[in-house]
């Protein structure tokens, strides 16, 4: 679709500001409107379908991240409000179908990533991987849209039911072993695509945190309490509490959200911090509540690097600072270095690949101007002359990359360049 007027005006302004750096100018001109121009459909029911790019389905997580950088323009642009408000309505509709599902079809087409998945698929579901962050991102978009525009049209009965189901599901998954019926089995040789223990995941102890089956990378969790996801849940439960109280006047829902928020936050503090021999007190990536920990970081958001981005603590938090040093070191098993880049990758892509999104996130969470400039140069120099960002790429050969059409990565890069322009760094 054609970009709204406010987006076109902003692009023209950016063209002038980036004219002294032609390649960066080209990248921003391609990446900033990419979601609107290539992955957005306005549907007849007034909702908006935003697919990921080279996959025809809409992820609750990705669709939020694909449009967040447009929010500052929405207050003065009715067309953009139609797009964003329609996306929120679509997300809430999907959550009302099934809050365990991460990715949906445009229609009830019965199209699936793998029809053989043992997880309770229905015709709306592209795949049914339960990812805690998929509950969080739509609430974040709903809240931020409300705050940026002042519009309350998104707070429908469907939205209310979705927010209630999110709280209910998180409470159920605080005691996954005893109360949850969710399971996921995929016939595959790749361990990250299915859950152990006959699809139920490895056993977990009660911690106050809430369980997740899969990570933001769509890989299976090793241990069921993913710390960055639970941090994000703490943030969005605060949003739900406020929305329930101020918009829906439902103090019962507000109280349930606040109680859950406090329980999860306590669990993070009690079970999610470990003493690392080289980096001191750091946040773990995952734990099971029995004393087992997964010490790593992944390029997907939310991850340890993105903790300030999701709003849990600031970049000056001492445990986060230690965690950041860990994540950006060889002590993180998914940190890779090469001739053209160094940064965080993922078990989701071939070993040794660095992700463009991780480089963008590293810069977005940095207060060091030189680090930000260095990372922008790294991003510009590793697009393989395609004019777009990718998923993962080999740091010794940027022409060896995954996903040539990945709108989330383009949007995150655009958000970084906006930050850099605002700080006078480009």
What is the pTM for the complete model shown? 0.97
pLDDT tens string for the chain (426 positions)? 888 999 999 999 999 999 999 999 999 999 999 999 999 999 999 999 999 999 999 999 999 999 999 999 999 999 999 999 999 999 999 999 999 999 999 999 999 999 999 999 999 999 999 999 999 999 999 999 999 999 999 999 999 999 999 999 999 999 999 999 999 999 988 888 999 999 999 999 999 999 999 999 999 999 999 999 999 999 999 999 999 999 999 999 999 999 999 999 999 999 999 999 999 999 999 999 999 999 999 999 999 999 999 999 999 999 999 999 999 999 999 999 999 999 999 999 988 999 999 999 999 999 999 999 999 999 999 999 999 999 999 999 999 999 999 999 999 999 999 999 999 999
**Cα dist from 239 to 14, 59, 251, 382, whole Å:** 32, 21, 13, 37
Q: Where are the beta strands (DSSP E) in 101-187?
A: 103-104, 125-127
Task: End-to-end CA distance of the chain: give it in Å, rounded.
Answer: 29
- Structure tokens, 320: 């986060």
Rounded Cα–Cα distance for residues 49 and 335 (Å): 34
Rounded Cα–Cα distance for residues 211 and 226 (Å): 7
- Structure tokens, 193: 């695509």
Which is nearest to 227 in space by CA: 285, 308, 270?
285
Within 8 A by CB and 6+ apart from 341, the residues are: 354, 359, 378, 382, 393, 395, 398
Is 65 in contact with 2 (CB distance < 8 Å)? no
Within 8 A by CB and 6+ apart from 420, the residues are: 363, 372, 373, 376, 426
Residue whose structure tokens are 């023209």? 12
State the pairing for strand pair 392-394/354-355: antiparallel
CA-CA-CA-CA dihedral for 362, 65, 310, 88, to nearest 10:
170
Within 8 A by CB and 6+ apart from 198, the residues are: 183, 185
Q: What kind of fold does domain 55-71+98-333 have according to CATH? A: Glycosyltransferase (1.50.10)
Residue whose structure tokens are 């015709």? 123
Q: Residue 220 has what DSSP assignment?
A: B
Helix, strand, coil in percent for the chain, rounding step 5: 50, 10, 40
Rounded Cα–Cα distance for residues 85 and 146 (Å): 10
Which is nearest to 295 in space by CA: 280, 316, 313?
280
């Amino acid at each position: 679709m054609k970009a709204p007027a406010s987006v076109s005006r902003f692009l023209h302004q950016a063209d002038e500001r980036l004219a002294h750096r032609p390649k960066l100018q080209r990248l921003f001109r391609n990446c900033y409107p990419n979601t609107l121009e290539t992955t957005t459909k306005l549907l007849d029911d007034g909702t908006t379908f935003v697919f990921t790019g080279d996959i025809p389905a809409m992820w609750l997580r990705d669709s939020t991240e694909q449009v967040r950088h447009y929010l500052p323009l929405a207050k003065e642009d009715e067309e953009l409000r139609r797009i964003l408000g329609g996306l929120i309505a679509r997300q809430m509709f999907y959550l009302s179908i099934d809050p365990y599902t991460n990715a949906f079809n445009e229609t009830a087409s019965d199209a699936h990533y793998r029809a053989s998945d043992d997880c309770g698929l229905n015709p709306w579901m592209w795949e049914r991987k339960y990812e805690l962050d998929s509950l969080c991102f739509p609430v974040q978009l709903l809240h931020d849209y409300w705050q940026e525009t002042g519009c309350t049209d998104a707070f429908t009965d469907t939205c209310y039911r979705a927010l209630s189901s999110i709280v209910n599901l998180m409470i159920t998954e605080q005691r996954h072993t005893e109360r949850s019926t969710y399971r996921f089995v995929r016939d595959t040789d790749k361990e990250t695509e299915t859950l152990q223990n006959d699809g139920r995941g490895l056993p977990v102890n009660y911690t106050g945190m809430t369980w997740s089956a899969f990570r933001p990378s769509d890989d299976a969790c090793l241990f069921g309490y993913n710390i960055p996801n639970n941090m994000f849940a703490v943030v969005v439960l605060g949003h739900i509490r406020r929305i329930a109280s101020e918009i829906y006047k439902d103090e019962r829902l507000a109280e349930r959200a606040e109680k859950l928020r406090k329980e999860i936050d306590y669990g993070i503090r009690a079970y999610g911090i470990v003493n690392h021999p080289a980096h001191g007190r750091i946040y773990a990536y995952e734990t099971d509540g029995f004393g087992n920990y997964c010490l790593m970081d992944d390029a997907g958001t939310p991850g340890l690097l993105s903790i300030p981005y999701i709003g849990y603590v600031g970049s000056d938090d001492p445990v986060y600072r230690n965690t950041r040093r860990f994540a950006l070191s060889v002590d993180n098993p998914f940190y890779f270095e090469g001739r053209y880049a160094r940064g965080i990758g993922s078990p989701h892509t071939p070993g040794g690949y660095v992700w463009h999104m991780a480089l963008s996130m590293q810069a977005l969470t940095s207060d060091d101007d030189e680090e930000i400039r260095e990372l922008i140069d790294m991003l510009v120099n590793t697009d393989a002359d395609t004019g777009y960002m990718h998923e993962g790429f080999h740091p010794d050969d940027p022409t060896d990359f995954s996903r040539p059409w990945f709108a989330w990565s383009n949007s995150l890069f655009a958000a970084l360049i906006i930050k850099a322009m605002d700080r006078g760094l480009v």
